[in-house]
Amino acid sequence: MIEITGQHLINGRWKNLGNDTFSSANPATDVNNDYCFFEATSEDAEQAVVSAAGASKQVRRLSAIQRADFLEAIASEIELLGAQLVEVAMSETALPQMRIEGERGRTCGQLRMFASKLREPTQPLHIDLADSARLPMPKADSRLNNVALGPVVVFGASNFPLAFSTAGGDTASALAAGCPVIVKGHPAHPATTELVSHAINKAIISTNMPVGIFSMVQSSAPEIAQQLVQADAVKAVAFTGSQKVGDILNKLAQSRVNPVPFFGELGSINPQFILPALLATQANTLAANQVASMLMGHGQFCTSPGVVVVTKGAGLDALMATLKENITSAGAGTMLTRAIAQTYQQKLAHWTSHEKLNLIGLGQEGQGQCQTPAALFDVSASDYLSDVSLQEELFGPAALVVVCDNSEQMQLLAQTMQGQLTASIHGTVDEIQTEQSLDLIDDISQHVGRVIFNQMPTGVEVCHSMQHGGPYPASTAPQTTSVGSNAINRFTRPVCWQNMPSSILPSELQDNAASVQIVI
């Protein structure tokens, strides 16, 4: 058992310069957990940045194999945390054991996926050989590769205490790219953050990494986050969280003397477009799938389906009836934090009192501050389109059924929707191939990172073809993904090397390495 000390991990040492503390609460019992965590001081944060900056050169010069060994060691060390990690994470998030264990598996799987990618030979991006005889001017040798950006600040996410936090996808991909990482732990699960940081620290020691490769600071105040984003030595920021906080941090990143990329995944309502022929025959299944998907993680997945778009016609009554039945019987669930539960209740109250919304059904009410009911409402497409507040994410287990008068209205909705991580089209194979449907799909594809046919959006596959990110507000950097192997590209930048002697080029660009893959 690792003792939780509440300290920060800075430059290879557990320490705290200040004495102010904060606690996490158990959302299930609404009682504070036993541990206390030191609020990072400005000096703590500064030391973490200095440590990362100091290690930056050494980290980017690590071989791909060294980085792979490190990532795999982190995965093994996380597994060695065993039941303690599961219990602590459960106590801070109220997520069920199976979910935490599954998320641990995904977290370790991501680390190993990046490691296995690093074990493949590094390819040059492109090599153009010199041509001294070219007219009117000789052509210089130029070779393109990716270089690491430097220190990256990663913010832990409330809704994925493992897979999007301390050793989650952002940290794993930044380390894989050759960047030191400074994690700002999410204040809702600091003990989880500390345990995982212990695992990373053990991996640093066992694989002989520079200590500055990973630091972690805890804080429940916004000032430390702001300081880290604005630190001159920090070269990129990765954030998964609310649109409000993400916007603030992104603005800070862009208003620096030297602005840096801000990779924020901020919000998505993941619309479900149901076409008429499938609705006519599969209304019950569609309704059951919708409720099951929106209840996953009690509606606190980034890909939770918050809007169902249908047209009036056969099957709509059956859809509504099954939605009502399933949502009404849904038990109350526990939100991740008091603040998230409160925001959900406030927005739910707005929906409940909204004169254009009609309640389809409310799930069971819970007890305690963090327990909330699931809910489904319906609204006409014209009312939905005329009220922007309805088009914003409601983080939690609530969704709107938007009823269109006709397919043109459905198309208009697709054309005007905000950027989304995903959208699904549910239809028969026949109806999806009509010109009208293809047009709808085309419009949808302009607003999302992932287009899905006849499946629910929850459950993001960690694979090479994944795109987790879409136009704002789904992502602040829609040309990148935060899940899948391409996530590594966020933390590198192409550099062209012109007329350099082969021996001092990065290894993947040297003559011998490139001899089989030169493209002229």
Query: Interaction with a second copy in 230-249: which residues (CB under 8 A)?
Result: 235
418 binds a second copy (CB under 8 A): yes
Q: For residue 143, what is the enclosing H or E element?
A: strand 142-148
142 binds a second copy (CB under 8 A): yes
478 binds a second copy (CB under 8 A): yes
> Which of residues 5, 284, 454, 507 is near a second copy by CB under 8 A?
454
> Which of residues 20, 30, 441, 510 is near a second copy by CB under 8 A?
441
Question: Candidates 21-29, 164-172, 285-293, 461-469 — which segment interacts with a second copy by CB under 8 A?
Answer: 461-469
Task: State how far the Cα of 313 lies from the Cα of 447, in Å rounded to an integer.
Answer: 26
- How is 383-427 classified by DSSP, letter by letter? HHHT-GGGGS---SSEEEEEEESSHHHHHHHHHHPPPEEEEEEE-
At residue 273, the 3 state secondary structure works out as strand
What CA–CA distances, in Å, run from 512 to 125, 440, 496, 503? Answer: 16, 50, 18, 10
419 binds a second copy (CB under 8 A): yes
Token representation of residue 13: 């040492």
Q: How far is the CB of 489 from a second copy (least distance, A)?
A: 8
Strand order in the sheet with 8-10: 13-15, 8-10, 214-217, 181-184, 152-155, 236-240, 262-265
Establish whether 302 is a catalytic residue: yes
- Among residues 452, 486, 453, the alpha carbon closest in space to that of 467 is found at 486
CA-based end-to-end distance of the chain: 58
Task: State how far the Cα of 195 lies from the Cα of 191, in Å rounded to an integer.
Answer: 6
Contact flags string 374-413 toward a second copy, x per CB under 8 A: ----------------------------------------
Establish whether 496 is a catalytic residue: no
Measured from the CB atom, the residue of 60 and 354 that comes closer to a second copy is 60
> Which of residues 2, 125, 280, 339 is near a second copy by CB under 8 A?
125
Residues numbered 479 to 498 that lie near a second copy (CB under 8 A) are: 479, 481, 486, 489, 492-498
Residues numbered 48 to 67 that lie near a second copy (CB under 8 A) are: 57, 60-61
Instruction: Answer whether 151's CB lies under 8 Å from 49's CB.
Output: yes
438 binds a second copy (CB under 8 A): yes
Residues numbered 81 to 110 that lie near a second copy (CB under 8 A) are: none
127 binds a second copy (CB under 8 A): yes
112 binds a second copy (CB under 8 A): no
Question: Candidates 12-20, 237-245, 317-325, 476-484 — which segment interacts with a second copy by CB under 8 A?
Answer: 476-484
Catalytic residue numbers read 265, 302
